[in-house]
Amino acid sequence: MTARISKWPGFELSAADLAEGKVTQTRFRPDAKYAWSAGEAMSRFLAELQEGRLIARTCQSCERILFPPRMFCEECYRPTDAWKYIQDTGTIETFSISYLDTDAKRIAEPILVGVTSLDGASPKMGMMHYFGEMTKEEIRIGMRVKAVWKPPADRRGSVLDIRYFRPLREGER
């Protein structure tokens, strides 16, 4: 209540009042269905993940290779031009040693997550993912890594079709 109004008109109803039918009421459940689309570029990106490939879009104007792919170049303000496969190797740009899991629960053994810029895409373009087969002492910015894919039968057209990025082994490219 306020300084000037000691009692508002009307009366309050509790959830129990409504459940008991203390007042007349109308109940309704709208048939509110939706289909949320990933869009042209991300749909192709996800479909290619299922095939074990990473795909980008190129822009003729700024000559960039955009990854993750998008149908529109935000630098040139024009549609992008073509699809281009890129490699599943790259370089760690940033990383976090996280003591929280994906549900924000505290965990004793940290998970390693971060952004990898991928070979074949323009500089600094890549994706965020887990890192594995390395310890929190070993991980560093600039580390060369490679994607570890799920077996084809387990892939679902999801970013988790890649399990994690592991260190690139000596002599590997």
Partner 1 sequence: MTFLERTTDPRRLRTWEGHMEADYIYTSGIAGERFFVALRDEGRVLASRCTACHLDYLPARLFCEDCFAELTEFVDVPGEGRVVAVTVAHVDRSGNPLSRPQVWGFVSFRGIRGGLVHRLLVSPDRARAGLAVRPKLKPRSARVGAITDIEGFEPVRS
The residue ranges that bind partner 1 (CB under 8 A) are 10, 13, 18, 23-40, 42-43, 46-47, 71-72, 79, 157
Nearest residue to 48 (alpha-carbon basis) of 167, 149, 120:
149
User: Among positive and negative, which fits the CA dihedral 102, 117, 141, 144?
Assistant: positive
| Cis, bond preceding 68 (omega within 30 deg of 0) | yes
CB nearer to partner 1: pick between 111 and 159: 159
Q: Smallest distance, Å, CB 47 to partner 1? A: 7
Per the CB < 8 A criterion, the answer to whether 91 and 114 are in contact is: no
Q: Smallest distance, Å, CB 123 to partner 1? A: 25
CB nearer to partner 1: pick between 34 and 173: 34
Torsion angles phi and psi, residue 17, rounded to 5: -60, -40
Q: Smallest distance, Å, CB 53 to partner 1? A: 15
CB nearer to partner 1: pick between 84 and 144: 84
